Amino acid sequence: MNIKLVNKNISEVSAEVLVEFLTKDDLESHKEAKILKQAGFKAEQDSTCFLYEKTILFCGVESKKSDDLRSASACAIKALKSSNFISAKLSVISKSTLSALVEGLVLGGYEFNEYKSKPKKSALEEIFLTTDDLDFEKLETIFNEAIIVSNATNFTRDIVNKAPQEINPQTLAMLAQKLSVDNKLQCTILQEDDLAKENMGAMLAVGRASVHGSALIHLSYKPENPKKIISLVGKGLTYDSGGLSLKAPTSMVTMKMDKAGACAVLGMIKAVSELKLDIEVHAFIGAVENMVGGNAYKPDDVLVSRSKTTIEVRNTDAEGRLVLADVLDYAQDAVNADYIFDFATLTGACMIALGQYTTGLMGHSHKLKHDLSRAGSDAGELISSLPFNSHLKKLLKSEIADISNTASKPYGGAITAGMFLDKFIREENKNKWMHFDIAGTAYTEAPWDCNVYGATGAGVRLMTQFLRDIK
């Protein structure tokens, strides 16, 4: 399916279907109001009414703002793809909402059919976004950037959605190497011998029972004279069985998504390199598989991390933070960054705190939290801050090591996980670092907004927006 921006009035564009977005006020004055009301259409948000005989698809919106249009255009593309029409057209409502329209169409129309023996084929081939705005050049730039970011989000979704027998630490490293070639990035892969030389005892312990060797992936995008340097760190648990603290069977299903943080940072660096932003970006990924075996790490083990901090293991299913502890430490030595952001499907507790639609944000800098929240709002990704406090920090105390990998009480689990990571952020970097818990937002089994079943690509639009706005 091709989406095209054309500099014409919509009446001058030839397409089989016209798509219109209507608010309740619009509905009252519309020439088709009578027949729409007879069909039961009330112009409620995300409702649709397809008048096939008139070849018009009506979509309800609460307002003509970006968030409502993004969600409604995702519903529109689903309706169009379920029909036998080949082409459709809709008007660009404003410069400020063009990105949202594109994202709704591209992300809402996404399908992952790789494992279907007979995938359904849609007849839809072209969608025309029409405008007679005098500043077409500016609109064209916005359109092209929205396509890049949407495609990078779908690139992320594809990797997350791939089955665990296909994506393991080594094949994820190969995928990163291919991206480096395609997008002219620098790529370094540290295999297990290299990780041992780096004394990454926490990360190596998590992957010890897997037949697939663990790997640390480092991708770099380095434009000339960058105005900022950013380190992005992703949790890459290509599968998480829980280890010896084995997950329940129902909880183990969907655990291919535990690599979503790693996949998100791959999508981010892909988008940044294709947008040609004047920001130097480093993506660090801890690619590991947490499995069960005779040599699996155990509750009661004491691990020595790269930073020489000792960690008492109380639960082998709290493995992502162990991997990130070593990768964050390595990233701080490898790059003197202006900002360090880590993305991880870290805790089910974050979903309990914020629901499945909101990413948890944790760190020390109030200004950075504010800037990221604003970028999230502009990008259409919901994020909310969870506060650190000294009382919760006490729950990570270990009697036999420097820190425990789980809290002694089952409260505030998302925050205590973030505070565990904070232990591995050096003092000079405390205000440069933010942790994003995407456990709820990275994967969905019920469509919402512009997200379809499966991976959402959470974090890609948010971080790309932040990096475009950065000063």
For 290, how many CA atoms within 13 A lie in the half-sphere containing its CB? 32
Contacts of 406 (CB under 8 A, 6+ apart): 314, 315, 318, 396, 416
326 and 251 in one domain?
Answer: yes
Does residue 440 sit within a domain?
yes
297 and 198 in one domain?
Answer: yes
Q: What is the CATH number of the domain that holds 130?
A: 3.40.220.10
220 and 114 in one domain?
Answer: no
Q: What is the pLDDT of residue 420?
A: 98
Cβ 180 vs Cβ 219: under 8 Å: yes
Q: How many CB atoms lie within 10 A of CB 471?
A: 5
168 and 118 in one domain?
Answer: no
Contacts of 215 (CB under 8 A, 6+ apart): 169, 170, 172, 173, 189, 190, 191, 192, 195, 287
Q: What is the pLDDT of residue 1?
A: 85
- In the residue annotation, 321 being an active-site residue is answered as yes
| pLDDT per residue of the chain (471 residues) written in tens, 0 to 9 | 899 999 999 999 999 999 999 999 999 999 999 999 999 999 999 999 999 999 999 999 999 999 999 999 999 999 999 999 999 999 998 999 999 999 999 999 999 999 999 998 999 999 999 998 778 999 999 999 999 999 999 999 999 999 999 999 999 999 999 999 999 999 999 999 999 999 999 999 999 999 999 999 999 999 999 999 999 999 999 999 999 999 999 999 999 999 999 999 999 999 999 999 999 999 999 999 999 999 999 999 999 999 999 999 999 999 999 999 999 999 999 999 999 999 999 999 999 999 999 999 999 999 999 999 999 999 999 999 999 999 999 999 999 999 999 999 999 999 999 999 999 999 999 999 999 999 999 999 999 999 999 999 999 999 999 999 998
Does residue 157 sit within a domain?
no
Does residue 262 sit within a domain?
yes
Does residue 447 sit within a domain?
yes
169 and 315 in one domain?
Answer: yes
Q: What is the pLDDT of residue 274?
A: 98
Only one residue has tokens 């500099």, namely 7
Identify the active-site residue in 222, 247, 374, 426.
247
The strand order across the sheet containing 359-363 reads 186-190, 215-221, 279-290, 228-240, 339-344, 433-437, 359-363, 383-385
CA distances 80 to 10, 56, 221, Å, are 18, 10, 38
- In the residue annotation, 426 being an active-site residue is answered as no
Does residue 43 sit within a domain?
yes
Q: How many CB atoms lie within 10 A of CB 388?
A: 17
Q: Say whether 84 sits in a helix, a strand or coil.
A: coil
Q: How many CB atoms lie within 10 A of CB 118?
A: 6
**What backbone phi and psi angles, to 5 degrees, belong to 454?**
105, -150
Q: What is the pLDDT of residue 280?
A: 98
Tell me which residue range forms the domain holding 65: 2-134
417 and 277 in one domain?
Answer: yes
94 and 177 in one domain?
Answer: no
125 and 189 in one domain?
Answer: no
451 and 392 in one domain?
Answer: yes
Does residue 419 sit within a domain?
yes
Does residue 147 sit within a domain?
no
Domain boundary at 134, 151, 183, which?
134
Q: What is the pLDDT of residues 17-45, one digit of tens each?
A: 999 999 999 999 999 999 999 999 999 99
Number of domains in the chain: 2
Q: What is the CATH number of the domain that holds 281?
A: 3.40.630.10
409 and 266 in one domain?
Answer: yes
Q: Say whether 343 sits in a helix, a strand or coil.
A: strand
Identify the active-site residue in 162, 259, 306, 321.
321
Domain boundary at 116, 134, 152, which?
134
Residue 28, token pair as written in the block: 């009252």
Domain boundary at 114, 134, 154, which?
134
240 and 201 in one domain?
Answer: yes
Q: What is the pLDDT of residue 134?
A: 76
Does residue 148 sit within a domain?
no
* Identity of the residue numbered 20: E
* Identity of the residue numbered 383: I
120 and 210 in one domain?
Answer: no
